[in-house]
Structure formats: C-alpha cells, structure tokens
C-alpha cells in the first residue's frame, strides 16, 4: 500500500472515531442529562427534559463555532497539525471522562456540566477539523481525500446512534466513558500519519487576509451550511415526522434513517473520485437540485414504502454532493491556508446543523411538517440555482484551474 493510501485510511479512521464518539450521546441524551443532575428546581437550563437536552447539545456546537477557527489558525501559523490533534483529542477525552465522573462527584451543578461540555466541544473540534485538514494535505486527488473524510463522517453518524442507544440501555454514563476511550485512541492513532503541513509559514494576519481575498470559498461554505441544515432537519424533524405520520417506533425509525445514512456513507469515496474526473459543477449543482427535489418527495411520500425508496435516493445524492463540496474547499484554498479554510467550512456546517434544528423545528411546530419539508427542500434547490453563475465564472469543470492535476492512486 502506498504511504498516501495508508495515511488516508488512518486519518479517515480518526475522523470516524471522533464523530462516532460525538453521536454516541445523542440517542440517550434525555436520560444522560437527568443522570448528570439536570433539575428544574436548581437550574433555569433544565426546566424540562427537552430544555436540558437542547442546552447540552447546543453547548457543544457553540464551542465548535467559537473555537474551530482558533485551531485552524494555530495550525497554519505554526505549520503543524499533528500535535494540535493529539492535544485536542486528549483534552477532549479528559472532558468526557470528567463528565462521566460528575454523578459520582455529586456536587457539580448543571451549569457546571454545561461548562464542561463547552470545554469538551472546544477541544474535540480541534481534533476533528485538523484531521480533515491533514486529509487535504495528502496527494492523490482532492475528491479522493474528501471522499475518505465523507465516508468516515457518514459511517460515524450511521453507527454512532444505534450503538449509543444500546450503551445507554446498559448505563446512561457508558457513552461518555466509551467516548473518552475513543479520543485517547485517536491521540495514539494520529501519530502514525506523518505531518505534511506546508512548511512555508505565514502570520495570522496574512492568513486571514489570504482567506478574505478568496471570496469564492463562500460557495462551498454556503453549500456546506445548507447540506448540514438538511442533516439537522432529518435528525430532529424527520424522526418525529416518520413516527407521527406512519406510526413507527424508535427501532423502525432508525431503519428508515439508515436508508439515508447507508448510501450516504458508503458511496462518498467513489463519488469523491468521480468528482476528480468530471469536476465539481455537476456533483454539486445538479446533485443539489436533485437532492432538494428528493427532500420534497420524502415529505410528499404517501406510504412508508415510498419513503424508504426516496430516502435511499436522497442518500445517494447526498453522497454525490458532500465530497465534491469539501474538495472544492481544497481546490480554492492556498495550501498554506488549508487549516483556516477547512475551519471555515466546519464553522458553516456547525451553524447549518443548528439551523436545521431551529428552522425545521420552528416551522414544523408552527405550520406543520409539509411546510417544513417544503422550506428545507426549497432552500437546497435555491442555493443550487443561485450558485450557477458563480460556478460558470469559476469554470469549475474537468478542465478548470482549481482541479487537482494528480489523479493517481498514490
């Protein structure tokens, strides 16, 4: 195996482990926050189980938004990635471990739990974002590298929820303990891959100015925001819609969601390779148009059988879009600014995921599920249409200047 292929596998495994550890907590979050001391009589953040769960999740995402740029900037300024990934993973593991120990300590108020969650999230996002940046640094085709990241993300999301649910059945604290162990293993695993960060260092001001001079990066950022918004929408609104509209239980709902996640995860690598061959325009623009139509079709499906087929198609289209979008970030960013560029993409994605919760939940609660599907699917279609002139200006196709010239296996 060529060294780049080996490193691609190792780094993809690291991305998987970080995301898997994050998603482990989601299925049993209501039980977990209760175990961690969420109490309406002692904390305004825990007036209801839903409130406590929401703030526990929001605390982590808020930390992602606040600190992802700091990690990217530090990496680009110093010309190092691996030490920051190790530090972020081990500190994140410590955060998970302290949270797991909180019930035994017994004196930590829920506000303190939320602060620990912020610390854990701030550290974990460093390991996640910079590992994706290390994949950007590899040779072999940007689509190939981001396809590896995409399949790791998809599998982490697809497997983390069911495993986390089973762990919660054993013990509500078990997902935290497993997450801590996984992040310690990340710190060890990433040391196998060499640090290929460009050695031509630049100051923080020069890095920020360099990103500002590349307004074209707003294109993949915008697509990343909307794509993650749809993921957040399905995670919250889609789950409730399937259960209320078709009478599904949690197990059956998980299987329906798996119809999306399975092709979304498994096809990202070949779809990333495809985008190296045909360019980014068709996968991103045409894929997004069809993806938006697919979301509308899910909301209009008359039977659960139709939903299953439509979710499979939507998963395939999501796999077409995601690696090409991340590869476009690599295409457009200067190699000395990749840490900051990928941090910007993950910032947009985190905001999109939060938007999926808020926009989807608010519209579904106020106007109904049909209107929620219409708005979210319409957003995906609209951004594709708006982006067409920008792609034409960039000439993002198989002959365009941003496409990597290395399509080999190495």
The string of DSSP codes covering 157-213 is HHHHHHHHHHHHHH-TTHHHHHHHHHHHHHHHHGGGS-----S----HHHHHHHHHT
Q: How many whole angstroms separate alpha carbon 64 and alpha carbon 349?
A: 10
The answer to whether residues 12 and 45 belong to one domain is yes
Q: What percent of the chain has pLDDT over 90?
A: 30
The answer to whether residues 259 and 373 belong to one domain is yes
The answer to whether residues 248 and 108 belong to one domain is no
CB burial string 157-188: b at 16+ within 10 A, e below: bbbbbbebbebbeeebbbbbbbbbebbbbbbe
**In terms of residue numbers, what domain contains 74?**
1-201
Question: Residue 201 — pLDDT band, cuts 50, 70, 90?
Answer: low
The answer to whether residues 241 and 285 belong to one domain is yes
Lowest average pLDDT, out of 82-91, 241-250, 295-304, goes to 241-250
Q: Mean per-residue pLDDT for 329-347? A: 80
105 found inside a domain? yes
The answer to whether residues 118 and 258 belong to one domain is no
Question: Residue 399 — pLDDT band, cuts 50, 70, 90?
Answer: very low
pLDDT of residue 209: 58
Q: How many whole angstroms separate alpha carbon 398 and alpha carbon 52?
A: 49
The answer to whether residues 313 and 266 belong to one domain is yes
Residue ending a domain, among 166, 201, 236, is: 201
286 found inside a domain? yes
Query: Could you read off the pLDDT of 295-312 as tens digits, one per residue?
Result: 999 999 999 999 999 999
Higher pLDDT, 276 or 27: 276
Q: How many domains does the chain have?
A: 2
Q: Mean per-residue pLDDT for 52-56? A: 81
Higher pLDDT, 19 or 211: 19
Q: How many whole angstroms separate alpha carbon 104 and alpha carbon 279?
A: 54
pLDDT of residue 396: 44
Q: What is the pTM of this model?
A: 0.76
The answer to whether residues 191 and 218 belong to one domain is no
The answer to whether residues 252 and 381 belong to one domain is yes
Whether the predicted pLDDT of 210 surpasses 60: no
Whether the predicted pLDDT of 220 surpasses 60: yes
Residue with tokens 């279609």: 381
Whether the predicted pLDDT of 199 surpasses 70: no
Q: Which of 142-151, 287-296, 390-399 has the highest mean pLDDT?
A: 287-296
Higher pLDDT, 396 or 165: 165
The answer to whether 283 and 275 have CB atoms below 8 angstroms apart is: yes
Query: Could you read off the pLDDT of 91-102 as tens digits, one per residue?
Result: 999 999 999 999
410 found inside a domain? no
Query: Could you read off the pLDDT of 159-196 as tens digits, one per residue?
Result: 887 788 788 888 989 999 999 999 999 988 888 888 87
The answer to whether residues 342 and 319 belong to one domain is yes
CATH number, residue 260: 1.20.1250.20
pLDDT of residue 90: 96
Query: Residue 283, exposed/middle/buried by CB under 10 A (0-12, 13-18, 19+)?
Result: buried
Query: Could you read off the pLDDT of 367-393 as tens digits, one per residue?
Result: 888 999 999 999 999 988 988 887 777
Q: What percent of the chain has pLDDT over 70?
A: 90
67 found inside a domain? yes
Mean of pLDDT over the chain: 83
Spell out the residues 6+ positions from residue 244 whose beta carbon is closer than 8 angstroms to its own. Answer: 369
393 found inside a domain? yes
Residue ending a domain, among 201, 232, 254, is: 201
The answer to whether residues 139 and 249 belong to one domain is no
Higher pLDDT, 179 or 251: 179
The answer to whether 61 and 354 have CB atoms below 8 angstroms apart is: yes
Lowest average pLDDT, out of 166-170, 346-350, 360-364, 404-408, goes to 404-408
Higher pLDDT, 250 or 348: 348
The answer to whether residues 238 and 128 belong to one domain is no
The answer to whether residues 235 and 186 belong to one domain is no
Question: Residue 198 — pLDDT band, cuts 50, 70, 90?
Answer: low
Higher pLDDT, 362 or 90: 90
Q: Mean per-residue pLDDT for 147-167? A: 83
Residue ending a domain, among 133, 167, 201, is: 201
């Amino acid at each position: 195996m060529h060294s780049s292929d080996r490193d691609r596998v190792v780094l993809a495994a690291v991305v998987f482990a970080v995301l898997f550890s994050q998603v482990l907590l989601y299925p049993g979050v209501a039980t977990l926050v209760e175990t961690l001391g969420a109490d309406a009589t002692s904390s305004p953040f825990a007036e209801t189980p839903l409130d406590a769960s929401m703030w526990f999740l929001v605390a982590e995402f808020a930390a992602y938004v606040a600190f992802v740029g700091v990690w990217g900037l530090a990496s680009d300024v110093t010309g190092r990635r691996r030490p920051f990934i190790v530090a972020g993973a081990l500190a994140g593991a410590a955060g998970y471990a302290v949270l797991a120990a909180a019930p035994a300590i017994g004196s930590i108020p829920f506000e303190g739990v939320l602060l620990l969650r912020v610390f854990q999230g701030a550290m974990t996002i460093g390991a996640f974002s910079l590992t994706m940046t290390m994949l950007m640094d590899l040779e072999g085709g940007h689509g190939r590298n981001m396809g590896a990241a995409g399949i790791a993300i998809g599998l982490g999301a697809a497997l983390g929820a069911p495993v986390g649910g089973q762990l919660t059945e054993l013990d509500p604290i078990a997902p935290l303990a497993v997450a801590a162990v996984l992040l310690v293993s990340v710190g060890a695993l990433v040391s196998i891959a060499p640090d290929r960060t460009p050695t031509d260092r630049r100051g923080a001001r020069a890095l920020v100015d360099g990103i500002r001079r590349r307004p074209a990066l707003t294109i993949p950022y915008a697509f990343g925001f909307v794509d993650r918004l749809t993921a957040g929408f399905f995670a919250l609104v889609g789950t409730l819609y399937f259960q209320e509209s078709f009478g599904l239980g949690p197990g059956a709902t998980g299987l329906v969601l798996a119809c999306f996640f399975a092709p979304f995860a498994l096809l990202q690598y070949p779809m990333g390779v495809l985008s190296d061959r045909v360019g980014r325009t068709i996968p991103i623009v045409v894929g997004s148009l069809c993806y938006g139509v697919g979301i509308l079709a899910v909301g209009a499906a008359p039977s659960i059988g139709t939903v299953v087929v439509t979710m499979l198609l939507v998963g395939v289209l999501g796999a077409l879009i995601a690696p090409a979008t991340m590869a476009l970030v690599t295409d457009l960013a200067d190699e000395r600014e990749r840490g900051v560029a990928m941090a910007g993409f993950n910032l947009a994605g985190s905001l999109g995921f939060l938007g999926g919760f808020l926009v989807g939940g608010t519209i579904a609660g106020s106007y109904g599920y049909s209107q929620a599907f219409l708005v979210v699917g319409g957003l995906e279609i609209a951004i594709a249409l708006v982006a067409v002139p920008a792609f034409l200006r960039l000439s993002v196709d198989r002959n365009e200047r941003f496409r990597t010239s290395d399509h080999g296996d190495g």
